[in-house]
């Protein structure tokens, strides 16, 4: 971060590993204050290793979402950047998909980003500056079998992003979504195992024949690559960028 760049306050969800942990590290490296929010108490060690504050919360609960924002406001006095990253996955055909899992995924991956956006909005509006960055997925653009709840939540996140962009523009608030293909994270590792069971395949076959089948670049994405784009969208340089869906999909949707 340059000497003239102001220190911002970021709230990042889903930070114990993967993309969220990489985003926390990147934002801290730029000198920003960060509240890392995760359900897993082990996320505290990950956050504090980067000099970030930690707040444990089950974001499927509305009060927990508002509590996380209250914690950031109490610690830092404002929230400038919101990164909605927390996610879970369950793979099953629609006919066998458990209602409980459907509701949990939608609550965490669509309702929580809405409630967090709603809660940080007054701080961003009052300061005339805000960045809302939603970690969606290539599955916000295309569908795959067995992921009805995940794909529905991610498609909904694009709609939420666009609406926030339209409502926030005049108040200095931008909203953008990132749509990565498969990233090297524990969530993806679990998906590999689930997909192998669903399709009766070996795990390496899942990577090659399902995950990378439609990719022009035949590799998984590093979390740091996603974090770098988050850092740009969280900066002053991205002030004219809003309502966009940024594909980091190895060329998947180029077809």
CA distance linking residue 134 with residue 139, whole number of Å: 13
pLDDT in tens, 88-146: 989 899 999 999 999 999 999 999 999 999 999 999 999 999 999 999 999 999 999 99
Q: Determine, yes or no, domain membership for 196.
A: no
Mean pLDDT in the chain?
94
Give the pLDDT of residue 2: 45
Active site residue 150: yes
Q: Determine, yes or no, domain membership for 80.
A: yes
pLDDT in tens, 165-198: 999 999 999 999 999 999 988 878 777 887 788 7
For 15-24, what is the mean pLDDT? Answer: 97
CA distance linking residue 226 with residue 204, whole number of Å: 24
Residue 130, classified by CB atoms within 10 Å of its CB into exposed (0-12), middle (13-18) or buried (19+), is buried
Sheet of 245-248, strands arranged across: 53-56, 33-38, 9-13, 81-84, 130-135, 173-180, 245-248
Q: Determine, yes or no, domain membership for 177.
A: yes
CATH code at position 107: 3.40.50.720
Judged by average pLDDT, the poorest of 34-48, 146-160, 161-175, 190-204 is 190-204
Phi then psi for residue 17, to 5 deg, are -165, 180
Q: Determine, yes or no, domain membership for 209.
A: no
Q: Determine, yes or no, domain membership for 132.
A: yes
Q: Determine, yes or no, domain membership for 126.
A: yes
pLDDT in tens, 220-246: 999 999 999 999 999 999 999 999 999
pLDDT in tens, 80-90: 999 999 999 89
117, 67 contact by CB (below 8 A): no
Bridging pattern class, strands 81-84 and 130-135? parallel
Q: Which domain holds residue 141?
A: 9-183+221-250
Q: Determine, yes or no, domain membership for 194.
A: no
What is the total count of domains within the chain?
1
> 55, 150, 182, 232: which is the annotated catalytic residue?
150
pTM assigned to the model: 0.93
Q: Determine, yes or no, domain membership for 102.
A: yes
Give the pLDDT of residue 111: 98
Bridging pattern class, strands 33-38 and 9-13? parallel
């Amino acid at each position: 971060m340059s000497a003239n760049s102001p220190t911002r306050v970021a709230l990042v969800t889903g930070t114990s590993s993967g993309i969220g942990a990489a985003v926390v590290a990147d934002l801290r490296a730029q000198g920003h204050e960060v509240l890392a929010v995760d359900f897993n108490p082990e996320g505290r060690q990950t956050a504090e290793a980067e000099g970030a504050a930690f707040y444990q919360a089950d974001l499927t609960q509305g009060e927990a979402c508002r509590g996380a924002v209250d914690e950031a406001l109490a610690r830092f006095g404002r929230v400038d950047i919101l990164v909605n990253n927390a996610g879970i996955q369950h793979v099953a055909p629609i006919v066998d998909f458990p209602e409980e899992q459907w509701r949990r995924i939608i609550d965490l991956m669509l309702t929580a980003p809405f409630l967090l956006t709603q809660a940080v909005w007054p701080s961003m509006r009052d300061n005339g500056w805000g960045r809302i960055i939603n970690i969606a997925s290539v599955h916000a653009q295309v569908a795959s079998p067995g992921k009805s709840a995940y794909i529905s939540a991610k498609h909904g996140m694009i709609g939420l992003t666009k609406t926030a962009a339209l409502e926030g523009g005049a108040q200095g608030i931008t909203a953008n979504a990132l749509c990565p293909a498969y990233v090297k994270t524990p969530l993806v590792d679990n998906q590999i195992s689930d997909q192998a069971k669903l399709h009766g395949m070996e795990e390496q076959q899942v990577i090659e024949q399902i995950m990378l089948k439609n990719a022009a670049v035949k590799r998984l994405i590093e979390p740091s690559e996603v974090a770098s784009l988050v850092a740009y969208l969280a900066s002053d340089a991205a002030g004219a960028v809003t309502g966009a869906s940024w594909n980091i999909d190895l060329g998947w949707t180029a077809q």
